[in-house]
Amino acid sequence: MDVQFLQQNWMLLAVAAVSGAMLVWSFIGGKLSGIEEADTLKATRLYNDDALVLDVREDKEYAAGHIPKAKHIPLGQLAGRLKELDKFKDKPILVTCRSGNRSAHACRVLKKAGFETVYNQAGGIIAWERANLPVTQK
């Protein structure tokens, strides 16, 4: 490789390296933390197998439509309301939000609190609705 090219474009190469590392981390980071992503098919299986569905969106988002039987605890309140979930510590929990970002954070909170089997719903309620799965406002 041309040394002059490397010297002139070191910033571009650094950005490419950091971007690549972030991409790799997005694939393995969850597995290393013990949090598994659940695509729509796996989320449906968990739902049908009576896993707890925990919706961590804000009140208005939840009221606009959520997965039937989902327990609602906004992410900002989760740490203070963990006692409500104690009976699910050794049961599967599917955590959902709008797109999967807040639920990933909630999964880390749950794992740190000792919850054994926690799944982050990939794509959140957006993916759920795109798959034409049931949503309720009740």
**Active-site positions?**
97
Angle at 59 between CA 30 and CA 116, to 5 degrees: 30
Contacts of 52 (CB under 8 A, 6+ apart): 71, 85, 88, 91, 92, 93, 94
The one-letter amino acid at 38: A
Of the candidates 54, 65, 52, 61, the residue with the CA atom closest to the CA atom of residue 134? 65
The one-letter amino acid code at 130 reads R
